[in-house]
Amino acid sequence: GSQYYSAAAVNAASVRACNYYKAGTSVGGYPHTYNNYEGFTFAYSGPYQEFPILASGALYSGGSPGADRVIINTACKQAGTITHTGASGNNFVKCT
């Protein structure tokens, strides 16, 4: 899509996802397992967790997750970003 996120915004969302994951907690059902059914190649190997990244710049705290996600692995490495925008059904496309 046309949405742009700074490295700092991606990092902030990834850190938030990691903190929830390590604590075994969630907000609005996130983070949760991302199975990579699309077969994307990420910077790090899985297993993966997905967490919303918001166009508003706010950190996700529940409610509508929007279309965009950061992907971390269970070692809390930033693996990539994906979006529902431009994908069919409930699928994702990878961000560049």
Q: What residues are annotated to the active site?
A: 32, 50, 84
Among residues 19, 73, 15, the alpha carbon closest in space to that of 44 is found at 73
DSSP string, 55-89: TTSPPP-SS---SEEEEEETT--EEEEEESTT-ST
